[in-house]
Amino acid sequence: MNLDPIPQVPTDDPFPLYDVLREEHPMLRVEERDLWVASRYTDVRAMLENPDVWSSAHGVVPSRFKPDKPTIIAMDAPRHTVLRKSVSRAFTPRRIDVLSKRIREIARELIDEFPASGEFDVFHAFTDPLPMYVMAALLGVGREERAMFKRCGDAIVYASDTPPDELHAAQSELTDYLAVVFEERRREPREDLISVLVSDSPEGKALDEEEMLGLCFLLLVAGTETTTSALGNGLLLLDRFRAERDWVAADPARVHAASEEVLRFDPPVHGLSRVASRDTEVHGVPVSEGEWVHMLFAAANRDPRTFENPERFDPARTRNHHVSFGWGVHFCLGANLARMELRIGLQELLARMPNYRVVTDGVERLRSDTNRGFARLPVEI
C-alpha cells in the first residue's frame, strides 16, 4: 500500500489514510519525494514552535516551489521578524473589524444574484468571488478595477491551471497596476492596507517596492483560495451533517464555534513543509540538516491524544486549538479576516438557502499537493 498522503489531498476522503499514518507511522519516509511526513499533533506543534530548527526559507510546500519576490511566508528571522512587524500594522483587529460591514455587503450582493430555486454552482456564484472581492477592498482596489483584479488574481492563484504566457501577462498587468497604486497612496494616503504599508510609523517601517509586491502577491495566494475552500468545506460539512446544520442555523451566533470546527475537521491547507537547519529529530526519528519534513495539519487536527472524539464533527466544540492557521511566528496573519469571512459567509448562506443540498456527484476538487480546494460546488435550493 502506498502511504504517501500528498496525492490524497484532492480525493473525496483522505482521512482514513491520515489516521493510519498518525497511529502507525507518525514519522513516515516518502522516498520518491525525498521527504518525511509528521502527523501527530505534538510533533507538528513542536516543529511550528521551533523556527530556529525548522526553516521556512527554502519554501514551505513539498514541491519545493519558492516565490521569486521576498515574501514573509518563506523567510526566517531576523528578516522575517522585522518584515512581519511592519506588515502586522495593517492587520490589527480594529482594521479588520472595519471590513466586516463591507464583507456582509459583498456577500449580500452576490446572494442577490442567486436563482430563486433549482441547481447552480455556488463556487462560481459565491465562495470563489467573495474572498477575492474582500481582498480587493482590503488593498483599496476601486470598484472599476475589481474585474481586472479578479481576472489577474485568479490567473495567479490558480497558477498551475493557467497557461504560462497568460500567467506572465497577468503578473505584469497586476504589477503595473499596483506600482501606480503604491505611488498614489504615498502621495495621498487612504484607509487601506497599502496606505499603511507604504509609510513609516512608530510601529514599523515602510516596505520597499519589492517587499510591497511580494506581500500583495502573497496575500492573493495565501488569502483567497484558502478562504474559498473554507466556505466550500463548511457548506459540504453542513450538508453531510444535517442535525448539526439545524443546530447552527437556529442561532447565528453558533456560526462562530461551527466555523472553527469546519477549519479543524477539514482544513483548507492540509499540510506545509519545513527544512531542518541542523541535525535534529522528530518523534525520536533522526533528521539531518537540509532534510524536508511535511507537517500534516489535517491529521494532527484529528489526533485523539489532543482532541476529544476527533472523528466527530461537533460545531459546539469549545476547546479547539487546531493547527489549520499554523502556530508560532508564522501563524496566519489573515486568520481574523478569514474567520470573519467564513462566519459572515455561512450566516448569510444559511439565511438565504436553509434547505440547500450539495449535488455531490458534481463536486470538483482543485488539484493541489497542499490545499483542499474546489473547482465546482453545485447545490440545489
> Which residue ranges make up the site for ligand HEM (CB under 6 A)?
56, 60, 72-73, 84, 218-219, 222-223, 226-227, 230, 267-269, 272, 324-326, 330, 332-334, 337-338
Q: Cα separation of 212 and 301, whole Å?
A: 33
Closest CB 71 distance from ligand HEM, rounded Å: 8
120 vs 216, beta carbon nearer ligand HEM: 216
Closest CB 165 distance from ligand HEM, rounded Å: 28
Closest CB 226 distance from ligand HEM, rounded Å: 4
282 vs 332, beta carbon nearer ligand HEM: 332
218 vs 353, beta carbon nearer ligand HEM: 218
E-assigned strand segments in 81-157: 119-121
Closest CB 58 distance from ligand HEM, rounded Å: 12
- 301 neighbors 324 (Cβ within 8 angstroms): yes
Structure-block grid coordinates of residue 280: 535534529
Sheet strands side by side (includes 378-380): 119-121, 378-380, 357-358
37 vs 333, beta carbon nearer ligand HEM: 333
Q: Which residue's C-beta sits nearest to ligand HEM?
A: 334
Closest CB 212 distance from ligand HEM, rounded Å: 13
- 87 neighbors 197 (Cβ within 8 angstroms): yes
* Cβ neighbours, 10 Å, residue 364: 14
User: How does strand 285-287 pair with strand 280-282?
Assistant: antiparallel
Structure-block grid coordinates of residue 168: 506572465
172 vs 331, beta carbon nearer ligand HEM: 331
20 vs 335, beta carbon nearer ligand HEM: 335
**Residue of 170, 105, 95, 109 whose CA lies nearest to 140:** 95
End-to-end Cα spacing for the chain? 41
Closest CB 118 distance from ligand HEM, rounded Å: 29
